[in-house]
């Protein structure tokens, strides 16, 4: 094991790779070891359910950096490194092959794993999840014109795959156990607006029904049997039923876990030498005054930037306003803040096809904004909403609903 102090990162996803880059940008001249286990260099995940499935981009084109970057930045990238243990006493990471990598600071950026169906037949061929580049290639092989695709879960990943499958000429059914789509992500009015668009495009969306079993012929899935007794023939099944943070290494090492690895607002764990970032960690957010865990691209980017500085003892706190986007058909959905925390919604009709839904909490504080429609028509209002959310602005809902009222002057609203 090297005696040189090193920054070690477990997880070569977006947060891990971006944090390695940020360490160099912030002046770290020592060793950096980036440990991944997917067999490929770090890549961007959002295009997997969009451009890759549409055939507009290859998985190789999703790479975050080219090979030269890692050489030039002196980042020791290992793409087949299976971490078996974190030895906190020795400040070392133990690999499955027995090698040990010592660290001065350790970042756990192991992300999340997709939840898989556990019903009978779930292991048949033709049953998929979509999380990795390899998953995307498997799903892409299924999306041929005329094939019937059963999607379990009406979250964002399920709805994105549905839109992509329709674009590729497939028949699509979406099966959701909850009473509506996007239960935790957005208010009901926003979810209903999106689902109506899917139905207009021919997607069969069913709520309050579960998959009891997957029907198969030989080894291949050929249909699903639902809890209401109906059976539906299909050519493949794709599960989009959420993810689970990969906390196993942290738990085994005695690091605190609470819906993910528990970190403070500097992204430090209960071990002062270990940090966590991205989908795997939960953190206190001062704006929303609660602990939360976020599964989105911007959070991974923001975490990477601040955790790198804090690994270098800058002591900065994290309080960015969450932001998320999704592309479905000819619509873009942009979400700022946490709309799911709202209790009332104000709707601003931008045009015949574009709307912004503002979510306010019980004190009238703006906590989220969901723009649906054309980018050119919603992006500005969502961006201003981000600033209002950051200021905890208390806004009269009638002002938010009135499209003749400019949003920017509302930035002067008194913050709570």
93-129: pLDDT as tens digits = 999 999 999 999 999 999 999 999 999 999 999 999 9
Q: Is the pLDDT of residue 2 over 70?
A: no
288: exposed, middle or buried (C-beta count within 10 Å: 0-12, 13-18, 19+)?
Answer: buried
Residue 184: predicted pLDDT: 85
Q: What integer is the mean pLDDT of 273-282? A: 98
Residue 394 is given by DSSP the state B
Query: What 3-state DSSP class applies to 375?
Result: helix
Q: What integer is the mean pLDDT of 338-358? A: 95
Q: Among residues 324, 330, 290, which one has the least CA distance to residue 185?
A: 324
User: What DSSP line would sit under 282-319, residue for residue?
Assistant: EEEETTTTEEE---SHHHHHHHHHHHHHHHTT--PPP-
Q: Which domains does the chain have, with CATH numbers?
A: 6-113+244-311 (3.50.50.60), 116-241 (3.50.50.60), 330-412 (3.30.390.30)
Residue 4: predicted pLDDT: 63
- Give the E-state strand segments of 193-337 in sequence order: 204-206, 211-217, 220-226, 231-233, 236-239, 243-245, 261-262, 274-276, 281-285, 290-292, 323-328, 331-337
Per-residue confidence band for 313, with pLDDT thresholds at 50, 70 and 90 = very high
With tokens 């865990």, the residue in question is: 293
Percent of the chain with pLDDT over 90: 95
pLDDT 10s digits, 16-58? 999 999 999 999 999 999 999 999 999 999 999 999 999 999 9
CA angle 134, 140, 143 (to 5 degrees): 155
Per-residue confidence band for 273, with pLDDT thresholds at 50, 70 and 90 = very high
Residue 1: predicted pLDDT: 43
Per-residue confidence band for 214, with pLDDT thresholds at 50, 70 and 90 = very high
Q: What integer is the mean pLDDT of 239-245? A: 97
Identify whether the C-beta of residue 390 lies closer than 8 Å to the C-beta of residue 384: no
Is the model more confident about 185 or about 416?
Answer: 185
Q: Is the pLDDT of residue 413 over 80?
A: no
Q: Among residues 404, 189, 367, 355, which one has the least CA distance to residue 289?
A: 367
Residue 413 is given by DSSP the state S
Mean pLDDT of the chain: 95
Per-residue confidence band for 12, with pLDDT thresholds at 50, 70 and 90 = very high
Per-residue confidence band for 91, with pLDDT thresholds at 50, 70 and 90 = very high
Per-residue confidence band for 416, with pLDDT thresholds at 50, 70 and 90 = very low
Q: What integer is the mean pLDDT of 201-228? A: 96
pLDDT 10s digits, 160-169? 999 999 999 9
Q: Where is 377: in which H helix or E strand?
A: helix 375-390
């Amino acid at each position: 094991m090297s005696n040189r102090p090193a920054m070690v990162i477990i997880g070569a996803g977006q947060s891990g790779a971006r944090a390695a880059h940020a360490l160099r940008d912030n002046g770290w001249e020592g060793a950096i070891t980036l440990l991944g286990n997917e067999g490929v260099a770090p890549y961007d995940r959002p295009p997997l359910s969009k451009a890759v499935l549409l055939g507009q981009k290859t998985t190789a084109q999703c790479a975050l950096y080219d090979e030269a970057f890692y050489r030039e930045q002196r980042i020791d990238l290992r793409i087949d490194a299976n971490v078996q243990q974190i030895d906190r006493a020795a400040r070392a990471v133990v690999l499955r092959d027995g090698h040990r990598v010592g660290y001065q600071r350790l970042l756990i950026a192991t992300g999340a794993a997709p939840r898989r169906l556990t019903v009978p037949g779930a292991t048949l061929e033709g049953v998929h999840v979509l999380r990795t580049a390899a998953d995307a290639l498997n799903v892409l092989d299924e999306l041929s014109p005329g094939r019937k695709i059963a999607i379990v879960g009406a979250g964002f990943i399920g709805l994105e795959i549905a839109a992509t499958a329709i674009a590729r000429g497939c028949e699509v059914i979406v099966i959701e156990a909850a009473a509506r789509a996007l239960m935790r992500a957005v208010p009901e009015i926003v979810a209903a607006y999106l689902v109506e668009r899917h139905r207009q495009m021919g997607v069969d969306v069913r709520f309050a029904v579960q998959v009891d079993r997957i029907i198969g012929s030989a080894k291949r899935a050929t249909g699903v049997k639902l809890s209401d007794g109906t059976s539906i023939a299909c050519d493949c099944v794709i599960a989009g039923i959420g993810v689970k943070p990969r906390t196993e290494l942290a738990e085994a090492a005695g690091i605190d876990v609470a819906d993910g690895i528990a970190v403070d607002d500097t992204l430090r764990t209960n071990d002062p030498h270990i940090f966590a970032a991205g989908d795997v960690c939960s953190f206190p957010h001062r704006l929303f005054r609660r602990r939360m865990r976020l599964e989105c691209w911007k959070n991974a980017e923001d975490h990477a930037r601040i955790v790198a500085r804090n690994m270098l003892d800058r002591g900065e706190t994290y309080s960015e306003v969450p932001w998320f986007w999704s592309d479905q058909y000819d619509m873009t959905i942009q979400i700022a803040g946490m709309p799911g925390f709202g209790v009332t919604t104000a709707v601003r009709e931008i045009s015949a096809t574009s709307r912004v839904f503002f979510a306010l909490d019980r004190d009238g504080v703006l906590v989220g904004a969901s723009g649906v429609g054309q980018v050119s028509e919603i992006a500005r209002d969502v961006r201003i909403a981000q600033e209002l959310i950051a200021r905890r602005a208390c806004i009269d809902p009638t002002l938010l609903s009135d499209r003749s009222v400019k949003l920017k002057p509302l930035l002067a609203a008194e913050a709570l």
